[in-house]
């Protein structure tokens, strides 16, 4: 990316991702009062899958999936189920049992850094071009 390509529009996905990341634990804690951690994990992963599928369709890259070998598809599914599902279920199970203030200190630091440092650096880069 050259300096001419930088624009404030590029900041929107960063802020949106940061917002979703920052709201994950507080909203998860609220939602877990009415649903089981398995249900919330399944819902989260299903929404993520649909978003990736829609992105691939919009970017016209869906046919690339047909070119993948069966072994790669099975391996990806296994890693996804074991990795992401286990992470979601364990995170939401812990979140249902411990105070939210102790559940995500690293996330808070990352979110704070993304909201303060990165926009300043992008703004400096925009002012130089």
Q: Is the pTM of this model over 0.75?
A: no
CA distance 73 to 79: 10
- Reported as a single tens digit per residue, the pLDDT across 10-32 is 778 778 888 887 787 788 888 88
- pLDDT given for residue 47 in this prediction: 87
Please state, as a whole number, how many other Cβ atoms lie within 10 Å of the Cβ of residue 80: 13
Cα angle: 111, vertex 116, 118; to 5 degrees: 90
Residue pair 89/37 in contact (Cβ under 8 Å)? The answer is yes
Question: In the chain, which residue ranges form alpha helices assigned H by DSSP?
Answer: 11-31, 37-58, 63-66, 70-79, 86-95, 100-103, 105-128
- pLDDT given for residue 2 in this prediction: 46
- Reported as a single tens digit per residue, the pLDDT across 97-125 is 877 666 555 555 555 555 565 555 555 55
Q: Is the pLDDT of residue 65 over 80?
A: yes
* Averaged pLDDT for residues 31-55: 86
87 pLDDT tier (thresholds 50, 70, 90) = confident
1 pLDDT tier (thresholds 50, 70, 90) = very low
């Amino acid at each position: 990316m050259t300096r001419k390509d930088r624009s404030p529009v590029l900041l929107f996905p960063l802020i949106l991702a940061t917002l979703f990341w920052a709201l994950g634990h507080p909203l998860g804690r609220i939602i877990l009062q009415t649903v089981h951690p398995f249900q919330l994990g399944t819902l989260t992963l299903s929404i993520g899958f649909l978003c990736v599928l829609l992105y691939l369709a919009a970017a016209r890259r869906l046919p690339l999936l047909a070119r993948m070998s069966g072994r790669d598809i099975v391996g990806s599914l296994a890693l996804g189920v074991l990795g992401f599902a286990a992470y979601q279920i364990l995170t939401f199970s812990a979140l249902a049992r411990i105070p939210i203030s102790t559940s995500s200190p690293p996330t808070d630091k990352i979110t704070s850094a993304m909201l303060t440092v990165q926009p300043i650096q992008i703004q400096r880069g925009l002012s130089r071009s």
